[in-house]
Amino acid sequence: MPTAEEALTNSTAQNFISPTTISNIVPYIIFIPAHTPWHGPLLGRLSFTSDKIPIVKDSSGRWGLSQNVRDQWQTLELNLIHLCNAFRHVHTLPIPADIHNFGYPYRAGYTSSHKTFRAARAAAMRAIDGFLPLIGQVSMFLYLYKRNSEKEGWDNWRKRVCERANLEEAWLTAVEDSAIGDFTIPRIGGILDLSLPPKTDPISVRRTELDFLVGAIITDHLPMPLYVRWGIISDTPEIPVPRYLEAMKFIPDWREIKYLKSLPGKVKFSTWARKQSPTEMVYSSLRDSYPFVNQTAGRETPTPPPVTAPSSLAPESSFPPVERYSGQKAGETMEQFFARRALSNEATRLREDSRQKQSRLERENHARKGQVPGGNSKAARVYIWELCDGHYIRRAAGRGNYEDIWDDSTPSQRKYDSFHNEWDVCEQFEPQEDDCRPITMIDDDDKDDYGDDDGDYGYDNAPYQVMPETDVRALVVLPHHSCKADLGRMHPLRDETDAPQLPTLLQSAQDVAYFRFGCMLPNEVVRPDAEALPNATVTAKVLGDKNIALPSAPKDLNLRTFLAECQQVTTFKDIDEALLDFQFPGSPINQYWAFDVKRLQCAQVLEFGGGGRYVVQDIDSPGPLYLVLEGATTLLEIIRRKWGPTVLDVARELVDRCIPFHLCILAHSPCVPAPSKSILPEHLLWSGLGYRSMDYEPNLWDYRSYLDTRWRFLRSPRGQIALRCGGIIARIARDVLAVEDALLGPSDTATDDGLCFWDGHESTALWDDQLTPNEIDIICGVYHIATGETNPPIIIIISWNADNKYAFRTTRSDPDARKTDYYTIVVAAATHIRRVCFECGMVDSHL
């Protein structure tokens, strides 16, 4: 660990994996992620180990990084450098004025060719480490900008930063969505050294310039360990205490000093936490929770110190963050994941019907061929298990990498799950297996000379020393290194020719009126004297299709009469018996039903509001799945259409028509927990597709990034929930998923964070998965825009015209519609714009 003096000079140690002394020159080091951040569309390009790095020999016989990977690394480095420069100059930040850069990754020599394979590999691996201080610097600036944007009124800071850095806002969004901008992941942190060397003038040593940064991190509860080193324990601090620490009462009093003296060992430290007060920002030591301190609080001298420090102060090994939507739970090991998955698969096997079983067996037979999964929507998903800080983390492979993964793994290192149609790939599955494929990149002339070839790094031997600010304008970004080229690589155009197609369900107005509402349309006028009938436009909208052709007279008059009566009735008997099938003996409603139906009056549990729901279950040999419907209209349509006889048969019909439903299991009744709230402030949390500046106009890169982000989520284990949501969410999901994906039933985590239907009395309840608001925003294409409260929401719909050019329609809605500073941009998928069923879908009307 460097001393405070060393941290303020150019000899700062290259410590990128553990807390070090916070320096005015390189304060951003504390923002380096505590765990390997090389995953996701942006940073995944750096996910290489020394045995997997693609080092190739060129025509001259020299070795270097493959051109494709080299271009990707250079693109990332150059654009991050320009982003840092823009952050520094667009707005004034409360940070030390003498911040310097670490040597950038290119100084390691990954852009050059080398004499030996080992030297080229060493340069590439050193360059990967060289990205850590760079992303820490971007992360610090991003944090400060987000934190100060509300206070300083920087409404358009994203736009201004991107203009200066010559970046697309879609690329900045990728930065915010990566480990760089994810402030929920742990950072390495650092030490604020307030001690003084002997015979040092306190005024001559600057110790308080990091006051704001440290105070902000503590206030916002960032997962970052921060330590304050007071030096020799005395009654008063040796230098003036930073005002933020003083306001938080972070100064050790005489009780704290007595407690520290009572601890054994040469290093004395105590843990502080925030007081449980919604109004005060005051912190205090946790020493009061230990009995031996309480007993000595009022004495002049402390009791003899205990043998060991409190066990709660002992450091614990942290588990790396798991990837969003990977299916792996936080803190869950690979062995625990597969054990839980085995139990879940067995439960799924017991409740699958013959059609599901047949589909699963067909998938198993196809998987035995060992072929690389295709890139279409019907293909299996692929996940790789990467070793991160001693733990295996499950990550989505990305379908552009499927072929490379198959080439780098053996059949026994790949496991297939037919229930979820997923492959898991990990070397640990068969670590001792010999790979008999020829190795063509080993240089037999290597003699363990890591870089000791001909000095062809082209740079100094200490590539990460602290340097003065580089004039980044001299770093030219070539066209193939631009952010647009990078967005094209991260979000490639997808071929969806094999995507499941929605069935053509063109129905007449008479069929819709009958099956949905039970409206009978006789050939004679039922009430010729009817008045105040709805017009044709209202009638068509009630049927769910504004362009539907209404029946000719006299059925048209009877239909509008039926709708007019529905607005006045209190019971179904108030409607003319000739217009409603409730009173017709031959109606399916008055016949034998193929399934059992019960009405459940739900209590207000978890995030679900109370209300009545309809529970459908098989009559013969009831299975473990229950169909839960919100409205009676859908239930009566199912009965009139004579769908069934099983719950899954009904569910298939509902998925085809994108009608919302829930497929539940019976489990224990819930205990009502306190609503969970995130510790981090809202402006530091990721939401939907990210944030945009005011008056922002989306472009093609926003559209492609939306399609790619949406595809990756829908192909995740949670994506199948969207098929049961109905409406536009289900229609979008049908572009990626098949009907059978919706019929697997709830996941094994539904009882932890899912939707619960409970009457408040029984010991059991019905559970199903539910999408989070953030997941719904991803599917529907929602960006959040910070605007003033007086500005109305901005809604921008991206569509395609006849010339295959993207176009925009911008509207502003009622400013009183939403009382929030964050508004949305709705991005509609082009594939749906062309379909009649997109605008002419069935709606659940309430009469």
pLDDT at 626 over 70: yes
Kind and range of the H or E run holding 542: helix 536-542
Residue 514 lies in a domain: no
For residues 605 and 539, membership in a common domain is answered with: no
Alpha carbon distance 242, 25 (integer Å): 18
For residues 143 and 222, membership in a common domain is answered with: no
Predicted confidence band of residue 75 (pLDDT cuts 50, 70, 90): very high
For residues 674 and 781, membership in a common domain is answered with: yes
Predicted confidence (pLDDT) per residue in 375-408, tens digit: 666 788 899 999 888 899 999 988 778 888 898 8
For residues 604 and 746, membership in a common domain is answered with: yes
For residues 688 and 830, membership in a common domain is answered with: yes
Predicted confidence band of residue 33 (pLDDT cuts 50, 70, 90): very high
Residue 553 lies in a domain: yes
Percent residues over pLDDT 70 in the chain = 74
The answer to whether 665 touches 754, Cβ cutoff 8 Å, is no
The answer to pTM > 0.85 is no
For residues 774 and 722, membership in a common domain is answered with: yes
pLDDT at 277 over 50: yes
pLDDT at 162: 93
Alpha carbon distance 212, 613 (integer Å): 53
For residues 175 and 195, membership in a common domain is answered with: no
Residue 718 lies in a domain: yes
pLDDT at 835 over 50: no
For residues 656 and 758, membership in a common domain is answered with: yes
pLDDT at 243 over 90: no
pLDDT at 828 over 70: no
3-state secondary structure labels for all residues of 642-686: CCCCCHHHHHHHHHHCCCCCEEEEEEECCCCCCCCCCCCCHHHCC
Q: Domain boundary residue among 551, 566, 581?
A: 566
| Number of domains composing the chain | 5
Predicted confidence band of residue 594 (pLDDT cuts 50, 70, 90): confident
Q: Domain boundary residue among 284, 313, 342?
A: 313
Residue 309 lies in a domain: yes
For residues 233 and 292, membership in a common domain is answered with: yes
pLDDT at 620 over 50: yes
Residue 559 lies in a domain: yes
Lowest mean pLDDT among 65-69, 308-312, 804-808: 308-312
For residues 129 and 207, membership in a common domain is answered with: no
95: containing domain? 32-186+443-490
For residues 746 and 830, membership in a common domain is answered with: yes
pLDDT at 809 over 50: no
pLDDT at 673: 55
Contacts 24+ apart (CB under 8 A), 285-288: 285/252, 285/256, 285/259, 286/312, 287/255, 287/256, 287/259
Average confidence (pLDDT) over 695-699 = 79
pLDDT at 307: 33
Residue 785 — left, alpha, or beta (φ > 0 → left; ψ -120 to 50 → alpha)? beta
Predicted confidence (pLDDT) per residue in 109-163, tens digit: 999 999 999 999 999 999 999 999 999 999 999 999 998 887 777 778 998 999 9
Q: Domain boundary residue among 266, 281, 313?
A: 313
Average confidence (pLDDT) over 252-276 = 75
Lowest mean pLDDT among 51-55, 241-245, 441-445: 441-445
Lowest mean pLDDT among 38-52, 56-70, 751-765: 751-765
Residue 179 lies in a domain: yes
Percent residues over pLDDT 90 in the chain = 28
Lowest mean pLDDT among 140-144, 356-360, 436-440, 584-588: 436-440
The answer to whether 286 touches 273, Cβ cutoff 8 Å, is yes
Predicted confidence (pLDDT) per residue in 632-675, tens digit: 889 999 999 999 888 999 999 999 888 999 999 998 888 755 45
pLDDT at 203 over 70: no
Contacts (Cβ under 8 Å, ≥6 apart) of 71: 480, 481
Residue 256 lies in a domain: yes
Residue 479 lies in a domain: yes
For residues 798 and 781, membership in a common domain is answered with: yes
